[in-house]
Amino acid sequence: MKPELLKADQGGDFKTKLIILIPFIAIVLLKFLSEHLSGTFSIIAGYISIMYCVQTLRRTNYKPPYKISSPDQAINTECVLCVSPVDTIKVAYLPCKHAFCIDCLEKWLMRFSKCPYCCQPISYDASFADLTSPSQPNIF
């Protein structure tokens, strides 16, 4: 890529464009290297992509999907990893829209590449960073 393509224009500055561009380039490079190389480097590339995935998780304060007017209506709002209530902590969402304690989920993703609740595989690609706010989060 030519340096002049990264010059400030259209209201954005060089630093902002670089911050956006570097993770995308890193993911493309890691994907290429892991597909074409085997052994130790492939393992390292996978670990780095998992680290990037953990950093791009959408994080927010937990909000119940609907107003609870009585204890009978309460849904299970515990993190399945640590069994702590998630009503007062920050949570992170996976692409399958399940939410977990941030610390628990980061530790889980360092060991497994699937959702702890539904076991849906998690792909570590550029689209992971573009998660949108789920309309009905799945807290289990």
In the prediction, which pLDDT does 15 show? 55
Q: Domain segments of the chain: what residues?
A: 1-55, 58-140
Say if residues 78 and 85 touch (Cβ distance below 8 Å). Answer: yes
pLDDT digits (tens, 9 = 90+) for 67-124: 545 444 445 567 788 877 766 567 777 878 787 887 888 788 778 878 888 888 876 5
In the prediction, which pLDDT does 94 show? 80
Confidence check: pLDDT of 133 > 60? no
In the prediction, which pLDDT does 129 show? 42
- Please report, for residues 5, 46, 54, 60, the alpha-carbon distance to residue 133 in angstroms, rounded to integers and kept in the order given: 32, 26, 17, 9
Quickly count: other Cβ atoms within 10 Å of residue 44's Cβ. 14
Pick the CATH number of 58-140 from 1.20.120.530, 3.90.1150.10, 3.40.50.150, 3.30.40.10: 3.30.40.10
Global model pTM greater than 0.85: no
The more confidently predicted of residues 110 and 139 is: 110
Q: In one letter, which amino acid is 123?
A: S
Say if residues 93 and 112 touch (Cβ distance below 8 Å). Answer: no
In the prediction, which pLDDT does 77 show? 64
pLDDT digits (tens, 9 = 90+) for 1-59: 444 444 444 455 555 555 556 666 666 666 666 666 655 555 555 555 566 566 656 55
